[in-house]
Structure 1
Amino acid sequence: MKQLIIVYFSVALLLSCNNNSGANNTQNSTNINAAQDTAANFFPVTAFLKGEVNNIKTGGVTPLKKITIGNHTDSTWLKMDSIEIAVSDFLSPIIDSANLKKTFTEKKFLDQTINAFTFSYDPIDASNNNFLFKHWDVYVDPDKNIVKRIYLIKTANDGKTLQLTWQTGKWCKIVTIATIDGADVVVKEEKILWNFDEQ
């Protein structure tokens, strides 16, 4: 799986950089591909997350889950089998090229402020999009050519908005947002840690 990811991003970055070799590199955010093209090959987000879950299960470190509601935070140790259940909302529907390349676009750019290539995905027609994931970003370390972070926004069945930030090899955070009296309100935050060297 890691080799597939490296090959995918190496080819994507090489093609993008070659097409924009004359771009001004002094800007904080260099646009590699300004046009919103329908991507031929999307990054396999679901497969990546499942691989990360498997790494946690076999990594030998018991994950710690912190739940914050309002100003109150509780912590609990997760069983290895529970990690997949804890992030299950973000494992379906599947994000890959096969089911999305006709309805979503991919934008690529180098964000020098965070030192990452960013791949952003949005629906072509947001008003007529039934896919539960509304937006996601994949951040790639340009030096190591590995995925640093994934960010997903999903509409839950109850109308709430779920956001996942996945920091590769370290932690993930799930934020639940509800619309109350016309305003978006964070009703719950859940953070799962499995690397206690860097929090």
Structure 2
Amino acid sequence: MKFPLAFLVILLIITSSCKNKAGEPGKTTTTLQDSARVSDSAISYLPIADLIRQDLQHVDSFAGGILKKSTINGKKDSVFIRPPALHEAARAFLLPELETTSFRRSFTENSFMDQSTEQIQFIYTPKDPAVSVRNVVAYITPSGSGDKVSRIYLEREWTAGDTLIQQKLTWKTNQYFYIITMRQPKQGAPSTSIEKLIWDPEHFGD
């Protein structure tokens, strides 16, 4: 998940803009919109769904173990699963709203360099507040060999029957993903579940 040329251009623009605005009070972030004019191809929205599919293809290319950890209202369980089960769980990230054409049409994009982590964050906000996807953030780690999407974060909210469902989803490239789901019925007790699927053995013990 690397972008050797386009994101180096973006990074240079953002860095230059940050330096130019360093003396202005209250200016802590710099968006691409505030930077010098860039062609549409340079600031085109990140292909969120395609990036996730690419990582799934990477998992399919090797025969390593996949560990699924579940926590439901504090009760924990873990089991090794096969790739089809991973693909089924990953469907939570592959939403119609995140497909390229719909994504560009339905979301606004802002970006800034986080000086504390030295990452570029691309933040996508829905134009229609009624859609279930409420927030999308892609974290880019700059590198001399090519800028890498290291993490994708989503927030969702919708209603099923009389139950409000909220989800926080995080995808760590080449490592794992996890989904936190909170359910709040109009009547009855709320519940929280956490599902984490790991394909990088270094994170099996997390």
What is the DSSP-based 3-state SS (H/G/I as helix, E as strand, rest coil) of the residue aligned with 2:7? helix
| Residue 192 of structure 1: aligned partner | 197
Given that 1:43 and 1:96 are in contact with CA atoms closer than 8 Å, whether structure 2 keeps it comes out as no
1 CA distance for matches of 2:34 and 2:72?
A: 38
| Residue 98 of structure 2: aligned partner | 95
| Residue 112 of structure 2: aligned partner | 109
- Cα deviation, 1:14-42, whole Å, max 9, x if unaligned, reads 333344431339xxx941218699x8621
Asked if 1:118 corresponds to 2:116, the answer is: no
| Residue 169 of structure 1: aligned partner | 174
1 CA distance for matches of 2:182 and 2:174?
A: 25
Question: CA offset at residue 169 of structure 1?
Answer: 1.0
Given that 1:57 and 1:81 are in contact with CA atoms closer than 8 Å, whether structure 2 keeps it comes out as no
Question: CA offset at residue 6 of structure 1?
Answer: 3.7
Question: CA offset at residue 118 of structure 1?
Answer: 0.7
2 CA distance for matches of 1:24 and 1:115?
A: 16
| Residue 135 of structure 1: aligned partner | 135
Which of 56, 63, 71 lines up with 2:74 in the alignment?
A: 71
2 CA distance for matches of 1:189 and 1:134?
A: 19
| Residue 155 of structure 1: aligned partner | 157
| Residue 21 of structure 1: aligned partner | 19
Q: Count how many residue pairs are aligned between Structure 1 and Structure 2.
A: 190
- Cα deviation, 1:37-68, whole Å, max 9, x if unaligned, reads 9x862110100001111111212212100000
Q: Which AA in structure 2 matches 1:164?
A: L
Given that 1:137 and 1:150 are in contact with CA atoms closer than 8 Å, whether structure 2 keeps it comes out as yes
Question: CA offset at residue 89 of structure 1?
Answer: 1.7
Q: Which AA in structure 1 matches 2:139?
A: Y
Given that 1:30 and 1:112 are in contact with CA atoms closer than 8 Å, whether structure 2 keeps it comes out as no
1 CA distance for matches of 2:89 and 2:51?
A: 16
Given that 2:49 and 2:95 are in contact with CA atoms closer than 8 Å, whether structure 1 keeps it comes out as yes
Q: Which runs of 5+ in 2 are unaligned?
A: none
Given that 1:8 and 1:43 are in contact with CA atoms closer than 8 Å, whether structure 2 keeps it comes out as no
Q: Which runs of 5+ in 1 are unaligned?
A: none
Given that 2:114 and 2:120 are in contact with CA atoms closer than 8 Å, whether structure 1 keeps it comes out as yes
Q: Which runs of 4+ in 1 moved over 6 A?
A: none
Percent same amino acid among aligned pairs?
Answer: 23
Q: Which AA in structure 2 matches 1:14?
A: L
Question: CA offset at residue 156 of structure 1?
Answer: 4.9
2 CA distance for matches of 1:10 and 1:165?
A: 25
Gap change, CA 1:105 and 1:87, over 3 Å in 2: same
Q: Which AA in structure 2 matches 1:176?
A: T
Question: CA offset at residue 154 of structure 1?
Answer: 2.1
Q: CA RMSD in A?
A: 3.1
Question: CA offset at residue 90 of structure 1?
Answer: 1.3
Q: Which AA in structure 2 matches 1:109?
A: F
Q: How does 1:27-46 map to 2 (within 5 A)?
A: 30-33=28-31, 41-46=44-49
Which stretch of structure 1 is more off in the superposition, 116-125 or 13-22? 13-22
2 CA distance for matches of 1:185 and 1:46?
A: 30
Gap change, CA 1:17 and 1:114, over 3 Å in 2: closer
